[in-house]
């Protein structure tokens, strides 16, 4: 059955935005109606059955707007299927899973979401923003480490879980009750 899915992201230099688009495209191919947009643009998650939230990592943290998104919509997200991802590691560290920042972990627990999946990122001299990023991009950290096969495979798993989910098993009992005829 077709579901309505939101892929909301926080990105500074565009790499995470493109990952979010890739995830959205894959889920769409499974017949779901998908919207991909920046977390800042989302007023409400009420209309969605499932939500994927992703942020770039800077200095071990999620982008603040992504943390705000999780916090603001925590109760509504608790009633939905939610997946989290973050993107960051580059260069020789590209395959190192990143720990969830403490605040994000607390919010994930509140929402009932599993741990965030780490995807490698991009630090490219062409797209790097700011002095520090450009400096880093000129080192061994520079380049595009994103693994599109891995991202696609993850998105397929998410899509399959959305397809097979029984709405009544993920909504709170009282809400599921309200939906009964």
Ligand X SMILES: Cc1cc2nc3c(=O)[nH]c(=O)nc-3n(C[C@H](O)[C@H](O)[C@H](O)COP(=O)(O)O)c2cc1C
Do residues 50 and 5 touch, judged by C-beta distance below 8 A?
A: yes
Site pattern 91..130 for ligand X (x: CB under 6 A): -------x----------------------xxx-------
Q: Does 89 bind ligand X (CB under 6 A)?
A: yes
Q: Which of 22, 13, 23, 92 is nearest to 56 (CA)?
A: 13
Do residues 76 and 44 touch, judged by C-beta distance below 8 A?
A: yes
Q: How far is the CB of 127 from ligand X (least distance, A)?
A: 7
Contacts to ligand X from residues 45-74, by CB under 6 A: 56-60
Q: Does 170 bind ligand X (CB under 6 A)?
A: no
Q: Does 12 bind ligand X (CB under 6 A)?
A: yes
How many CB atoms are located within 10 Å of the residue 159 CB? Answer: 22
Q: Does 90 bind ligand X (CB under 6 A)?
A: yes
Length, in residues, of the chain:
181
Residue 51: enclosing H or E segment and its boundaries? strand 50-58
Residue 9: enclosing H or E segment and its boundaries? strand 4-10
Q: How far is the CB of 176 from ligand X (least distance, A)?
A: 36
In the complex, the residues that contact ligand X under the rule CB under 6 A are 11-17, 56-60, 87-90, 98, 121-123, 132-133, 136
């Amino acid at each position: 059955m077709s579901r309505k899915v939101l892929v909301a992201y926080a990105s500074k230099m565009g790499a995470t935005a493109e990952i979010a688009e890739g995830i959205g495209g894959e889920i769409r191919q499974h017949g779901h109606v998908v919207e991909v947009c920046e977390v800042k643009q989302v007023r409400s998650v009420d209309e969605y059955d499932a939500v994927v939230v992703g942020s770039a990592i800077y200095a071990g943290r999620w982008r603040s707007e992504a943390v705000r998104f999780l916090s603001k919509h925590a109760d509504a997200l608790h009633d939905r299927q939610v997946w989290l991802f973050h993107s960051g590691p580059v260069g020789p560290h590209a395959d190192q899973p990143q720990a969830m920042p403490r605040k994000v972990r607390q919010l994930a627990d509140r929402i009932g979401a599993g741990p965030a999946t780490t995807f490698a990122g991009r630090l490219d001299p062409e797209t790097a923003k700011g002095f520090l990023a450009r400096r880093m991009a000129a080192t061994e950290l520079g380049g595009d480490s994103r693994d599109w096969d891995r991202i696609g495979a993850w998105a397929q798993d998410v899509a399959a879980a959305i397809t097979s989910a029984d709405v009544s098993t993920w909504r709170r009992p009282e809400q599921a009750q309200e939906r009964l005829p």
